[in-house]
Amino acid sequence: MEKFEKLTSVAAPLPLINVDTDMIIPARFLKTIKRTGLGTDLFSTLRFNEDGSDREDFVLNQAAYKDAEVLVTGENFGCGSSREHAPWALMDFGIKCVIAPSFADIFYNNSFKNGMLLIKLPPEDMAKLMEDAERGANATVTVDLEAQEITGPDGGLIKFEIDAFKKHCLLNGLDDIGLTLQKDEKIDAFEEQQNAAHPW
Amino acid sequence: MSKATTLYDKIWNAHIVDEQDDGTCLVYIDRHLVHEVTSPQAFEGLRDSGRKVRRADKTLAVADHNVPTTDRSAGIENEESRIQVEALEKNCADFGVELYSMDDIRQGICHVVGPEQGFTLPGTTLVCGDSHTATHGAFGAMAFGIGTSEVEHTLATQTLLLTKCRNMRVTINGALPASVTAKDLILAVIGKIGTAGGTGAAIEFTGEAFQSLSMEGRMTVCNMTIEGGARVGMFAPDETTFEYLKGRPKSPKGGAWELAVEYWKTLKTDEGAVFDEEIVMEAADIKPQVTWGTSPEDVTTIDGHVPNPADEPDEFRRNKMERSLEYMGLEAGTPMKDIKIDTVFIGSCTNSRLEDMRAAAEVAKGRKVADGVRTLVVPGSGLIKELAEQEGLDKIFIEAGFDWREAGCSMCLAMNDDKLVAGERSASTSNRNFEGRQGPGGRTHLVSPAMAAAAAIAGHLTDVSDLD
């Protein structure tokens, strides 16, 4: 997994609530056996007209935001299905950080497993960030995970909270499976005890 | 005396392998269901790192999302779908995982197959790369959906790194009114708490209305827990649970069965246990439900109307409502019963079990599908299809003009050929009415099986009691 330390980027505003994983990547694009290449179909319905041309009203199609690495959006982002294709598609497109008032649980977990940083902020901070984001190409933000700070275009600082273990894994690009396998003996012991108590 | 704990606390505590200083726990996973869409990249990860499946004996695979629900003798025509199903077959063969292939009568939707085979048991931790894994909580299991990275983690280690959920309890007092089904109960709950109301929570369902439900009904309720934001939904196991499980192929047998039941009877919330959040509703207040928008929280009663965004004070919510109504092609104030439908889908991991088939057939019996309405009746597994046919339900459906199909996920998420075209409107027994969920531009109204069958007969949304 790639490390996440600090990034500076334009932030794209997507002021919608309950953006579900079918919106992020519709089910018809899940027929892949790979993790890569899903960025092409990210937000497919919002992004493209029926003839495949770009919808000009969609934020990531606008020149100022085409290269945005940060997405600023509404509450309960990522609700719905457990498809990890949702964070894969966002990351494949180039989004490395999503900021919202709240996220759905499974999407939240899936994102961190792929090195994407999700930040939850209270409404007043969200309102300021959304306003900044709407200023376009000149309004870059810097997200510093170590310091747990977002620096706005006018130098304003927003602090954010994050689970210590998730932060540690992201900063160091750690693979969960490798960490867990170091606890192999504990898993063996658990299995032995469980097999004795509940042999079904 | 030890502290009073909830059902969820008990199962959680019984599965902790290791606890880190920050509270993150390594939790043992007893059962793992695998399907073709969210597993290929996990198996690829195992191969790339030279890892094995730690406990293939605790893992069961079935292809469901992509399979055709029409004649399968010629295989899968769509190349991408075929490749995904073939990849599952190869991965299961290479890693020694049991698989019910497409021509096996036990094949079906993973959340139907697990319980049907007795693979799902009370007190277990059960995961699957699918958000509707919450279904299995109906048995008093701690069951939840995971992403592909966690599928790989489970395959490699039979554990997951988790933080504990908060405890939430939803109680519905009083007897279930006639005409109100499990689907109506859970839609009413989601309407009340909202689609993010259960975020971070494990929900326990209690009260007479819930407890009187069959296992099928309990599965419908737990299945849609995720639509209220909660990963886990649970019922305490009782005689209804044991009766359902006894004699299933993978249920404990002989002495082990007696031991298991003895243990399962201890799996209930202690008196005095404290929940972080409590919701209490009265069954008598609940009527048959139907959704009007593009989130499962956008729900009203069948005798209700399409709401008016102008009445919504919150700007974000008002925008979302306006967007939903535009997408759904609906005007505020329209009576729900005036909404004409083009397609009826009866199936999905929410409502494709024998009881659901019976409920729909009862409405269909002796009636005819309205002109121009397309129908799909998709049983949840090959075994349910067989049982339904033994009861003659297939004949009732076919005589009424319904299309009786093979088992799979089908039009719930439209990954196979079963999909809505743009602008087409469905009454569907599935779980999500998201934009494009049943096909790009498709418009979904979520309802119970009886209401879906009634809509097919009437040609518009209707209450079962309004049919001639």
Residue A175: CATH number of its domain: 3.20.19.10
Instruction: Tell me if B145 and A194 make a contact (CB, 8 A cut-off).
Output: no
Query: Which residues from B are below 8 Å from A18, CB to CB?
Result: 195-196, 295, 320
Distance from CA of A27 to the nearest CA of B (A): 6
- The Cα B284–Cα B223 span in angstroms is 23
Determine, yes or no, domain membership for A121: yes
In-domain check, residue A140 = yes
Residue A89: inside a domain, yes or no? yes
| Predicted local confidence at residue A138, as pLDDT | 79
Q: How far is CA A5 from CA A43, A133, B35, B149, in A?
A: 26, 21, 35, 21
| Residues B121, A76: C-beta atoms closer than 8 Å | no
Nearest to A83 among B38, B156, B252 (CB): B38
Q: Is the pLDDT of residue A181 over 90?
A: yes
B362, with CB counted inside 10 A (0-12, 13-18, 19+), is middle
Nearest to B434 among A23, A50, A190 (CB): A23
pLDDT, residue B53, reads 98
| Structural domain of A56 | 6-197
Are B153 and A180 inside 8 Å of each other by CB?
yes
A56 assigned to some structural domain: yes
Q: Which residues pair with B221 in a beta bridge?
A: none
Searching chain B, which residue's CA lies closest to the CA of residue A123?
B316
Please give the tally of structural domains in chain A: 1
CB contact under 8 A, A45 and B66: no
- State the smallest CA–CA distance between residue B202 and chain A in angstroms: 11
A134 touches chain B (CB under 8 A): no
- Report residue A5 as tokens: 């330390």
Taking CB atoms and an 8 Å cutoff, what residues of chain B touch A165?
A: 20, 22, 24, 161
A92 chain-B contacts, CB cut-off 8 A: none
Cβ of residue A101 closer than 8 Å to a chain B Cβ: no
The answer to the question of residue A1 being in a domain is: no
Count of other CB atoms within 10 angstroms of residue B195: 24
Q: Return mean pLDDT, chain A.
A: 96
| pLDDT-flagged residues of chain B (< 70) | 1
Chain A residues touching residue B295 (CB < 8 angstroms): 18, 20
Residue A48 lies in a domain: yes
Phi, psi of A160 (to 5 degrees): -135, 155
Task: Check B38 against A76: CB less than 8 A apart.
Answer: no
Shortest alpha-carbon distance between residue A195 and chain B (Å): 11
Residue A51, in any domain of the structure:
yes
Nearest residue to A145 via CA among A133, A159, A128: A159
Q: What is the DSSP letter of A146?
A: T
Which pLDDT belongs to residue B468?
80
**Does residue A109 fall inside a structural domain?**
yes
Beta strands in B236-358 (DSSP E): 277-282, 289-291, 299-301, 343-346
pLDDT band at A175 (very low <50, low <70, confident <90, very high): confident
Nearest-Cα distance to chain A for B316, in Å, is 7
Is 70 exceeded by the pLDDT of residue A11? yes
Res B1: pLDDT: 53
Percent of chain A whose pLDDT exceeds 70: 100
CB atoms within 10 A of CB B315: 9
Is pLDDT of A156 > 70? yes
